Amino acid sequence: MKFLLDANVRHSVGTFLESEGYDVRFLAGTAEHGLSDSDALALATRESRILITNDKDFGQLIFRQKLPHKGVILFRLSEESRASYLGRLKSIVEMYNDRLVDHFVVVTDEHVRFR
């Protein structure tokens, strides 16, 4: 499974995923850092990557504008501490590994919702 980390996602999230053996591409700190949301989504789609983001605007791109995607994980946590973010991501990747591709996943403190 391959992931693209939006520029608003901490680098430690990608480092964690890499340590678990996943292919990770970062937007932060690269030439692609300033990509628009639609361009970031297109990049993830071209490279068959699941986009990890904290930006709810991706929901509008996918559900209102009907842009294609290979999967999005949107984190909407009340406290984005490194421990809770990484803990939630780890459990999602382990529990729902086979359901992440081609789904829009919203992660809150209490729920994981697939669309």
Rg (CA), the chain: 13
For 1-55, the pLDDT digits (tens) are 999 999 999 899 999 999 999 999 999 866 676 789 999 999 999 999 999 999 9
pLDDT value for 109: 82
Q: Which residues contact 85 (CB under 8 A, 6 or more apart)?
A: 10, 13, 75, 77
Closest C-alpha to 43, from 23, 70, 17: 70
Give all domains of the chain, ordered by start, each with its CATH number. 2-114 (3.40.50)
For 77-107, the pLDDT digits (tens) are 876 555 688 888 999 999 999 999 999 999 9
88 neighbors 77 (Cβ within 8 angstroms): yes
